[in-house]
Structure 1
Amino acid sequence: MAENFQVDKKGVRQAFDRAAKSYDAAAALQREINNRMMERLQYIKHDPKTILDLGSGTGYGTRALRTEYSKAHIVALDLALGMLMSARVQTPWWKRNLPLLQSRLDNYVCGDADRLPLKTSSVDMIWSNVTLQWCNDLNVTFAELHRVLAPEGLLMFSTFGPDTLKELRQAFSGLDGHTHVNRFTDMHDIGDVMMHAGFSAPVMDMEYITLTYLDLMSLLKEIKAMGAHNVTMGRRHGMMGKSEWAKLQSIYEQFRREGRLPATFEVVYGHAWVNQKNLKTSDGSQIIQMHIQRKKGAL
């Protein structure tokens, strides 16, 4: 059963390649989460020379990092070539064609988070906005992130937790024997994986963000436009029948409030360091994680 929830990486790449042109119009949630990550960054003292934007997409986070760290060299890495091409064309043509500026331009790299095409200890900061949920084994992923970070390097990320799309998951449950919603990792388990990978002083927190829609089709179309639809190994490959679709809509209608259908997203934030001394309490106990749960209203 567990293998049914494994992410098909080829499917992920194809989905985001297809969604490259529609992504920006649909990705309001991703931009909002990126903005909230940037707010958290203001409380962290760090001056990186090289930054990896892991899962850079169409470049919204890369541009925010460029504003924050004007002197840093940024590597924008994504699994989908289409996303990188979309991001690159947003760089002014005159910057792309002036030789004297080539050393200051960001690099665009097509690659997998689990097999980063980067040297060991080669970056000072990794920034990753809602990307890690596409990785099948976070032990492998965080070990790789730890490998490429230099001493005193910072990892800062966001991802989705288990309550994400809980309404959709519940509506699909019992409909058939296929997986319809991706599986997401609990915040506490992510913290444990980070410690096992060797990260120091990890800090974790979580919040709920609820989006609302007029109907179920609007929700599913937006998920597809973002490239974030179901790519699990156990997914259904054929079309859903009319009776099944009607049943799915009927179940989801039970969640309607004030004329709108909700879609819950559990957003997990985390940051940690490489080779930084672990924080301790006055009695010598090690501080491993900080959990702050905040509920937000609909965007």
Structure 2
Amino acid sequence: MSDPLAAAKPSVETGGLLPDKRQVAASFSRAAQSYDSVAALQRAVGHELLASLPTTFVPRRWLDMGCGTGYFSRALADRFPEADGVALDIAEGMLRHARPQGGARHFIAGDAEHLPLTSGSQQLIFSSLAVQWCADFAAVLAEARRVLQLGGIFAFSSLCVGTLQELRDSWLAVDGFIHVNRFRRLEDYQDLCAASGLLPLDLESRALALHYPDLRSLTNELKALGAHNLNPGRPGGLTGRTRILALVEAYERFRQPQGLPATYQVVYGVLQKED
């Protein structure tokens, strides 16, 4: 079996601009202890995805793909108490944190683009805010189709272009470096899902905005989540005080009565395997 953490090859859909999988795994492993304390967005999005599953759908086997700290593995176990669950993540540190808390019967280190699971072995693949880190989403869809049984469902949430646009625009006013993670366009998700051989039951994007008292609160949260800038081309070394002050000034232009906004463009997809 090939190394599931091998460096990602450049992808046609992203122009090779997504981060190396080893960096993703290492970053989220380091964030395992702090992740849950700052994961309000992740909770809200995951619960929205869980609520989007058909009410009559009761799988006997499920996979939480990109399980992180296992929060939604436990939520899936609560919703489907008779089912056999598998929690999978590329970050070993996340799995070490999740395993003692239960939820799934099996905890596996693995890559969504090369699932270490038997074909036709799952009835539900649930993946919330994980596949945006996969350079080859077509491979993710192909693996989901392979692993699902007939009638099985792949439910995912992800992020698309427009996410953290306020932070991106503020950095553009300061310098020309890449400081904010890149994401696919919604149209890329639509095209890839349409070509996947899976039937889209639902595929849409919705904006979700969080507010912060100051810029440091936002950047500290991104670091605690392990979701700070991981893109190729990001600037190395420390960011100088002058540039930080310029960034704060630029971001203040977006301030609202609730605070500084950070907008996330969230993609929700529910796909079914028909044949």
Q: State the TM-score, normalizing by the size of structure 2.
A: 0.90
The alpha-carbon deviation at position 150 of structure 1 amounts to: 1.4
Report the identity percentage. Answer: 40
- Structure 1 residue 17 corresponds to structure 2 residue 16: no
Query: Which of the numbers 58, 72, 90 marks the counterpart of 2:83?
Result: 72
Bigger Cα Rg = 1
The alpha-carbon deviation at position 91 of structure 1 amounts to: 3.0
Residue 60 of structure 1: aligned partner = 71
- Structure 1 residue 178 corresponds to structure 2 residue 177: yes
Secondary structure at the aligned position of 1:34 is classed as helix
Secondary structure at the aligned position of 1:45 is classed as coil
Query: Which of the numbers 58, 62, 84 marks the counterpart of 1:47?
Result: 58
CA distance 1:121–1:77, change in 2 (3 Å): same
Could you tell me how far apart the structure 2 residues matched to 1:259 and 1:30 are?
A: 20
| Paired residues for 1:1-299 under 5 Å | 5-41=17-53, 43-91=54-102, 106-173=105-172, 175-258=174-257, 260-275=259-274
Q: Does the aligned pair in 2 maintain the 1:50–1:72 contact within 8 Å?
A: yes
Letter in 1 for 2:47: N
Residues 219-239 of structure 1, C-alpha deviation per residue, up to 9 Å, x if partnerless?
Answer: 000011011111111112211
Residues 106-134 of structure 1, C-alpha deviation per residue, up to 9 Å, x if partnerless?
Answer: 10001111111111121111000011110
The alpha-carbon deviation at position 174 of structure 1 amounts to: 5.1
Could you tell me how far apart the structure 2 residues matched to 1:107 and 1:128 are?
A: 16
The alpha-carbon deviation at position 139 of structure 1 amounts to: 1.4
Q: Does the aligned pair in 2 maintain the 1:191–1:202 contact within 8 Å?
A: no
Secondary structure at the aligned position of 1:236 is classed as coil
Count, aligned residues: 263
Could you tell me how far apart the structure 2 residues matched to 1:177 and 1:233 are?
A: 14
Could you tell me how far apart the structure 2 residues matched to 1:112 and 1:91 are?
A: 21
Could you tell me how far apart the structure 1 residues matched to 2:198 and 2:143 are?
A: 12
Mark the runs of 5 or more structure 1 residues left unpaired by the alignment.
Answer: 93-104, 277-299
Q: Does the aligned pair in 2 maintain the 1:3–1:234 contact within 8 Å?
A: no
The alpha-carbon deviation at position 175 of structure 1 amounts to: 3.5
Residue 4 of structure 2: aligned partner = none
Residue 296 of structure 1: aligned partner = none
Q: Does the aligned pair in 2 maintain the 1:187–1:204 contact within 8 Å?
A: no
Could you tell me how far apart the structure 1 residues matched to 2:176 and 2:253 are?
A: 22
The alpha-carbon deviation at position 3 of structure 1 amounts to: 5.1
Q: State the TM-score, normalizing by the size of structure 1.
A: 0.83
The alpha-carbon deviation at position 259 of structure 1 amounts to: 6.0
Secondary structure at the aligned position of 1:152 is classed as strand
